A and B are shown apart, each in its own frame.
Chain A
Amino acid sequence: MYRKLFVLFNFALVAVLAYAIWRSAHPMWKVYQRTYYNMAADAMEKQAATIKDPAAAAKMREQAEDLRNTPLKIKQILTVFGGVDRCTTCHVAMDEFVNPTMKNDFTQQPYAAHPLVDGIDFNKTHNFQKYGCTVCHQGQGMATTAKDAHGFVDNWQKPLLKGKYIQAACARCHANFEHAKGMEFVALGKKLFYKHGCQGCHAIDGVGQTVTVDLGDIADKPLERIEPYNFSLVRIDGKALPKDQWTLQNWIFAHVASDPESFVVNDPLAKYNPQPIAPTGMVNWTADDASGHRELSEQDAAAITTFLLSLTHEQIPYQYHVAGIGPMPDPDPHFADPVAHGKYVFEKYGCAACHGLLGAKGRRNFNALGPGQVSLDQYAKLSDAQKIAEMAKGREPTLTQVVGTYDHQELVNKISNGVPEAAVARYNPDGPMPPLYMPAWKKRGLQGKELDDLATWLLTIGQSNQSQGGF
């Protein structure tokens, strides 16, 4: 009995250990690397067949043979930022010591060479042996399996940036990217961010308003803070996200592209918590409103996401910060016309965040007293869903409709002093605190000529837009 077990166990031990060694000795990257060498050698031989000079052809065949017999190894780039990128272990065509031209005709990954983007040879501008790969592409540089390296795994914070999203990486080093070639998408994102008044609620590194989270290091948001969100409700292009796509990129995109309310848990009727929780004041930016208008396309939302993904506090050595091409935008442009200046001020302080583009459409301010709400006695009889719909009718003022009731000095006072958070009239007194309120702008640097011109401009939109009936 024990003799049999002795033999059996020893065989089993040898077998398991042998399997472990075999598995360790046969990683997928070896297959990729060998396949690449064979493909490259085949291509070279094909080319040799077209060469007339027999000596040159023979030499090329010899080179091809050498390439075919290259020993397999883990390749790595020690980057100037102190990282280690082993991407060229599989993506051999990106290794300039193997493929000096950095070009090939392979289309299939991981064999393809780095494409030219807008005609730019990236190895010339951003030498791969110096900068590595993950500085732009993100992903897990140290990993040697495709899944882990691309980073769509549980324990990796920054997976690959795909498609146009990669421009986020450009903007991390290239200041003034608005004028640089190939960074149009992230520049568009930045433009939209300010145009729609995002900075009216979200400051970036302290610049902007503080209604909610500062986005200055949003790209560093740790995974721990993303996991509690209900990704299973998020739809991108109408599709649910597979679990490996529950990433920061999609988290931001979902916040911009759909109503955050749909996947952030709220509790407006205090069912779970003694204190009711208002939904965010954010708009469903990519949905049509009643008049068929849509503020952002999904493409716009992706552009804003790209811009936000560039906001990091990761330390980049100063010598790798690029000032950029073209003129820096004037931080305080001069306007001769006070009305034009007022409009500029309106955008500068992100007033659109609450009052809509050009003040033409007040944003939802949940549970604030708004027009068209049923009386509170009737409210008590409504179903839960109807109650929430009723509370969602709360709005920030649509300036085009209300500025007419103020004179210039009243407007200036109102903007200067604001409405304290606690004084915002609630529709349902037991309901949650409305998320938006008018801050006292005099404490936030809006004063003097800026304030004066803003009021001047505001008084002009009252008449002009009312005739068009808003948008």
Chain B
Amino acid sequence: MSRGQFLLAGYGALAAFGAVLAGSAGRFFFPNVIYEPSAIFNAGPVKDFGQGVSLKWINKLVWVIRTSKGVYGLIAICRHLGCKPNWFQDQQLFKCPCHGSVYTKEGLIIAGPAPRNLWRPHLEITTTGDLIVDKSIVQDTPPMYYQPPFFLPLS
């Protein structure tokens, strides 16, 4: 091994040290535990939701929507940049105050800059008739958008 190669190996080792150090420093910034409320909650008996958009669970950032055909949820986070859209009962539209995205009652984006539809959370009805909403499993594109467990048909 020549002198130059030896030195090169040394530089290589230094570079490797730097890279590993940078990588581990980067990893350091990913918290392993976070203190956030559970993504899954019990929204109460499904029969208690009347037809229309229920704001009852808005503090969990979920709208529960009951139609004549069934029930589905929408997560109240704009798919553009995360503001909370408002429900306009009279126009039957969700409108976001930050950049003007407009969604239909089904959660479909019809105007404004948001690139995707609103998330629909995973729903489940327990044997006791309670509606379990799981925000960690979501769907935003048809056809799954309109199928269980993101839309539960009710008689």
Further contacts, 14 of them, CB under 8 A, given A206-B48, A278-B90: A206-B44, A210-B51, A210-B52, A210-B54, A211-B50, A214-B55, A225-B86, A275-B92, A277-B91, A420-B68, A421-B51, A422-B68, A432-B90, A444-B50
Is A443 among interface residues, defined by CB-CB distance under 8 A? yes
**Interface residue A312 (Cβ < 8 Å from any Cβ of B):** no
Residues of A within 8 A of B (CB): 206, 209-214, 225, 266-267, 273, 275, 277-278, 313, 420-422, 432, 439, 443-444
**Is A213 a contact partner of B55 (Cβ separation < 8 A)?**
yes
In the bound complex, how far is the Cα of B51 from the Cα of A210, in angstroms? 8
User: Which 5 A-B pairs have CB atoms at the shortest separation, nearest pair first?
Assistant: A210-B50, A277-B90, A273-B91, A277-B91, A421-B51
Interface hits, B96-113 → A, CB 8 Å: none
Interface residues of B, dominant DSSP: loop
Nearest A-chain residue to B52, judged by Cβ: A210
A212 to B92, CA, bound (A): 13
Are A443 and B47 touching (Cβ within 8 A)? yes
User: Is B50 within 8 A of A209, CB to CB?
Assistant: yes
User: Does B5 make an interface contact (CB < 8 A)?
Assistant: no
Whole-angstrom distance from the CB of B67 to the nearest CB of chain A? 10
Least distance between A446 CB and chain B CB atoms (Å): 13
Interface string of B53-96 (1 = CB under 8 A from A): 01110010000000010000000000000000010011110000
Asked if B146 is at the interface (CB within 8 A of a chain A CB), the reply is no
Q: Closest Cβ of chain A: how far from B60's Cβ, in Å?
A: 13
Question: A6 to chain B: closest CB distance in Å?
Answer: 49
Q: Give Cα A210–Cα B89 distance, bound, in whole angstroms.
A: 13
**CB-nearest residue of chain B to A275:** B91
Give the CA-CA distance A211 to B51 in the complex, in Å.
8
0 or 1 for each of B141-152: is its CB under 8 Å from A? (1 = yes): 000000000000
Most chain A C-beta atoms within 10 Å of own C-beta, residue among B44, B52, B90:
B90
Q: Quick one: which of A209, A225, A273 has the most chain B CB within 10 A?
A: A273
Residues of B within 8 A of A278 (CB): 90
How far does the alpha carbon of A422 sit from the alpha carbon of B51 in the complex, in Å?
11
Q: Which residue of A lies closest to B59 (CB)?
A: A313
Residues of A within 8 A of B56 (CB): 206, 214
Task: Report B-chain residues with C-beta under 8 Å of the C-beta of A313.
Answer: 59
Q: Which residues of B contact A420 (CB under 8 A)?
A: 68
Chain B residues with CB under 8 A of A213: 55
Alpha-carbon separation in the docked complex, A213 to B54 (Å) = 8
Interchain residue pairs with CB less than 8 A apart (14) = A210-B49, A210-B51, A210-B52, A211-B50, A214-B55, A214-B56, A266-B90, A267-B90, A273-B91, A277-B90, A420-B68, A422-B68, A432-B90, A439-B50
**CA–CA, A266 and B52, complex, Å:** 19
A422 to B68, CA, bound (A): 10
CA distance A206 to B55 in the complex (A): 11
Contacts of B59 in A (CB 8 A): 313
Report the minimum CB–CB distance from B111 to chain A (whole Å): 11
